[in-house]
Amino acid sequence: MGSFFNVVLFRFNTGRSIIRGRSKCVICQSTIRWFDLLPVLSHFILEGRCRNCKKKISSAYPIMEISTATALLLLFLNAPDTSFPTVLNASIVLLFVLIVFFDIRYFIIPDKILIAAAIPTTAIMLTSPNAVLPNLLISGLGLATFFAILFIVSRGKWIGFGDVKLILIMGLLLGYPLGFFAVMSSIWAAAIFSILLLVTGRANLKTQIPFGSFLAITTIIFVIFNHELQEISRYFY
């Protein structure tokens, strides 16, 4: 899955098919041979270089593969079964890993990924107990409305519209209070990250931050540790 996500990410808007066409070195255009296509391993065996031209290959590839594997592994360690809810959560986690990398690389969250994420989200909502459904709907719409207003007032400077759509999905998925905690944690994490960048001189006040990546990472953590976080939040309410 992580290797496939690399193809989706790096062929985005290049006109190349994500299912057809062999992987090539971006520098010398030589086709990468089948035995050099092992996820993560090939990168280390080849010491991060193309076998043909010896130029460096982006470490984003193994990072994507390791992140995808880690997220899925944590999910299955926490819910070691192949029940319908676990499969739905796994598809959410996978799509959100992809969102993390898309927002870092392009500062956008493609609608296609959001629509794909809306499918398991709807299934999770419809299979949740009837008493929970109004909570999920109100949380999603409430959070999305608040951030849509921020988007309109700031003319897209404080938050992107992709983030608003992502927050809608987060609210529908996690409800109250977890959805609100997730969004707040993302804001805090993004703020601390921005301050660190400013203090270390790696950014100025105009530097764009991939806020959607923070939202997506938080959502992954909240989906994986949903049960534990529910327990903690119950302690406070």
Judged by CB under 5 A, which of 25, 32, 123, 209 binds Zn ion? 25
Segment near Zn ion (CB under 5 A); pick from 18-26, 98-106, 125-133, 149-157: 18-26
**27 lies in the binding site for Zn ion (CB under 5 A):** yes
Question: Is the Cβ of residue 50 or residue 71 nearer to Zn ion in the bound state?
Answer: 50
Question: Is the Cβ of residue 38 or residue 116 nearer to Zn ion in the bound state?
Answer: 38
DSSP three-state, residue 56? strand
Alpha carbons 60 and 6: distance in angstroms, whole number: 8
Smallest distance, Zn ion to C-beta of residue 55, A: 5
Question: Is the Cβ of residue 26 or residue 192 nearer to Zn ion in the bound state?
Answer: 26
Smallest distance, Zn ion to C-beta of residue 52, A: 5
**196 lies in the binding site for Zn ion (CB under 5 A):** no
**Which contacts of 113-122 are long-range, i.e. CB under 8 A and separated by 24 or more positions?**
114/162, 114/165, 114/166, 114/169, 117/92, 117/169, 118/169, 119/91, 120/88, 120/89, 120/91, 120/92, 120/95, 121/92, 121/169, 121/172, 121/173
**52 lies in the binding site for Zn ion (CB under 5 A):** yes
Question: Is the Cβ of residue 54 or residue 112 nearer to Zn ion in the bound state?
Answer: 54
**51 lies in the binding site for Zn ion (CB under 5 A):** no
Q: Is 201 left (phi over 0), alpha (psi -120 to 50) or beta?
A: left
Of residues 169, 145, 146, the one with CA closest to residue 222: 169
Judged by CB under 5 A, which of 21, 28, 73, 127 binds Zn ion? 28
DSSP three-state, residue 176? coil
Judged by CB under 5 A, which of 37, 41, 45, 53 binds Zn ion? 53
By CB under 5 A, the count of residues binding Zn ion is 6
Question: Is the Cβ of residue 33 or residue 112 nearer to Zn ion in the bound state?
Answer: 33
CB burial readout 171-209, b (16+ within 10 A) else e: bbbbbbbbbbbbbebbeebbeebeeeeeeeeebeeeeee
**195 lies in the binding site for Zn ion (CB under 5 A):** no
Segment near Zn ion (CB under 5 A); pick from 50-58, 90-98, 112-120, 164-172: 50-58
| Residue whose pair of structure tokens reads 């986690």 in the numeric block | 93
CA distances from 187 to 42, 95, 161, 182 (A): 37, 21, 16, 9
**50 lies in the binding site for Zn ion (CB under 5 A):** yes
Question: Is the Cβ of residue 27 or residue 184 nearer to Zn ion in the bound state?
Answer: 27
> Largest Cα–Cα distance of the chain, in whole Å?
61
**26 lies in the binding site for Zn ion (CB under 5 A):** no
Rg (CA), the chain: 19
Smallest distance, Zn ion to C-beta of residue 49, A: 8
Q: Which residues of this protein are in contact with Zn ion, per CB under 5 A?
A: 25, 27-28, 50, 52-53
